């Protein structure tokens, strides 16, 4: 990637110790750039920040209604959850609703990120299941679409009807033909797009209530589910959940691996996408928070905002040793 600009600074004492570079774009409801930093045409994998796009066929196909899915299911379809009980209990019940077991998932198992759940598993000498995977909600959504289509069980294959439907939706809302794809951590294909394309997709979600086609109606349901259930989208101690709560249902947002972050702002019909080039999550959290504060949808004085912008860096004794700050360039929002 070229043309990346400073987005996040790490200070220790009076010295700038580390600097994170990246790209960011704010798009309006016409898909045009309102403001940008770095290279809007930088090609990236959106990773899990695109889950609401991949979930569009779940709703627009009629599969969600056929199986009686609620807003909780839709939030989980967009989630990278902590594998707390509130997540895994719901995913297990979802699979039962489909008449399936954990074996039907193709995401692979990993340890819960939720500490109480992990400690309980260790005490029980248990091992994680696939429903503990942070992407198990997305995969349950894929399975739902596959059943609705009468398609085969290998729903993560790029030529499977489920993935073809997701790719078609992706190209539609980014208004670009994805040039390639990678395999995500959960084994599902992840189409590449530009930072502008991803921001354009988020603005399309933000303005979906202005339209009345099937895909746009699906987008409204998905973004509303995310804003209604921020605890299901991520979990306690996570930036997605904390910041959505702080904004009181006004903004839907989603992180992705390797320091991608997006935001959907319906009241302003704006979409935001950013990528930190070195993959540092601390920087993407700081940058998205600074942009949301600059756009006037997040109070800079809210504890959630202060946890990521101008936040103290502490050592093992709790002593404040420095701060994490947005760059001066990034503070010029609006």
For the segment 242-260, what is each residue's pLDDT rounded down to a tens digit? 999 999 999 999 999 999 9
Give CA–CA dist 211/218, Å, rounded: 11
What does the pLDDT look like over 263-295, one tens digit per residue?
Answer: 999 999 999 999 999 999 999 999 999 999 999
The more confidently predicted of residues 23 and 330 is 23
Under the banding of pLDDT at 50, 70 and 90, the label for residue 332 is confident
Q: Is 288 exposed, middle or buried (0-12, 13-18, 19+ CB in 10 A)?
A: buried
Among residues 35, 16, 17, 15, the alpha carbon closest in space to that of 25 is found at 35
Residue 255 included in any domain = yes
Residue closest to 237 by CA, chosen among 180, 301, 285: 285
3-state helix, strand, coil in the chain (%, to 5): 45, 20, 35
Contact 138, 52 (CB under 8 A): no
- Whole-number Å distance between alpha carbons of 88 and 101: 13
- The radius of gyration of the chain from alpha carbons, rounded to an integer in Å, stands at 19
- Total number of domains constituting the chain: 1
**In this structure, are residues 239 and 290 in contact, taking their beta carbons and an 8 Å threshold?**
no
- pLDDT score of 331 more than 90: no
Return all residues near 246 (Cβ < 8 A) that are at least 6 apart. Answer: 298, 299, 302, 303, 304, 305
67: confidence class by pLDDT, cuts 50, 70, 90: very high
Q: Tell me, yes or no, whether 7 lies in a domain.
A: no
Q: What is the DSSP string of 96-138?
A: HHTT--GGG--S-----SSHHHHHHHHHTT----GGGSTTHHH
The verdict on residue 333 lying in a domain is no
- pTM of the complete model: 0.97
Residue 294 lies in a domain: no
H/E stretch holding 283: helix 281-294
Kindly tell me if the per-residue pLDDT of 1 is higher than 60: no
CA distances 27 to 35, 157, 192, 273, 307, Å, are 7, 32, 18, 9, 26
Residue 109 DSSP symbol: -
Domain-embedded: residue 70 = yes
In a domain, residue 16? The reply is: no
Cβ(271)–Cβ(204) below 8 Å: yes
Q: For residue 153, is it within any domain? A: yes
Q: Which residues pair with 24 in a beta bridge?
A: 37, 274
Query: What domain range is 130 assigned to?
Result: 41-279
Q: Is residue 228 part of a domain?
A: yes
């Amino acid at each position: 990637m070229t043309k990346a600009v400073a987005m996040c600074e790490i200070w220790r004492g009076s010295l700038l110790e580390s600097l994170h570079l990246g790209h960011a774009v704010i798009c309006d409801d016409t898909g045009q750039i309102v403001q940008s930093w770095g290279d809007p045409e930088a090609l990236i994998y959106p990773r899990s920040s695109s889950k609401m796009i991949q979930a569009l066929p779940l709703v627009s196909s009629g599969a969600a209604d056929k199986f009686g899915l609620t807003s909780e299911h839709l939030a989980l379809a967009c989630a990278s959850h902590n594998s707390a009980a509130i997540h895994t209990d719901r995913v297990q019940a979802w699979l039962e609703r489909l008449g399936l077991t954990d074996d039907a998932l193709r995401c692979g198992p990993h340890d819960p990120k939720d500490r109480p759940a992990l400690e309980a598993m260790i005490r029980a000498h248990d091992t994680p299941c696939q429903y503990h995977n942070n992407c198990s909600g997305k995969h349950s959504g894929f399975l739902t679409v596959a059943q609705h289509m009468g398609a085969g069980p290998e729903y993560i294959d790029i030529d499977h009807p489920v993935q073809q439907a997701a790719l078609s939706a992706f190209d539609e809302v980014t208004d670009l033909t994805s040039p390639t794809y990678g395999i995500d951590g959960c084994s599902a294909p992840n189409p590449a797009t530009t930072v502008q394309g991803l921001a354009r997709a988020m603005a399309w979600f933000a303005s979906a209530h202005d339209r009345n086609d099937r895909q746009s109606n699906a987008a409204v349901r998905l973004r509303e589910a995310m804003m209604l259930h921020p605890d299901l989208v991520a979990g306690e101690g996570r930036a997605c959940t904390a910041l959505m709560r702080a904004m009181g249902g006004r903004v839907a947002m989603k992180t992705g691996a390797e320091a991608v972050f997006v935001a959907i702002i319906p009241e302003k019909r704006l979409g935001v996408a950013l990528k930190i080039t070195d993959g540092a999550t601390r920087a993407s959290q700081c940058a998205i928070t600074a942009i949301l504060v600059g756009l006037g949808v997040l109070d800079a004085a809210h504890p959630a905002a202060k946890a990521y912008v101008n936040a103290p860096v502490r050592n093992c004794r709790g002593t404040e040793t420095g701060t994490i700050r947005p760059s001066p360039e990034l503070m010029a929002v609006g």
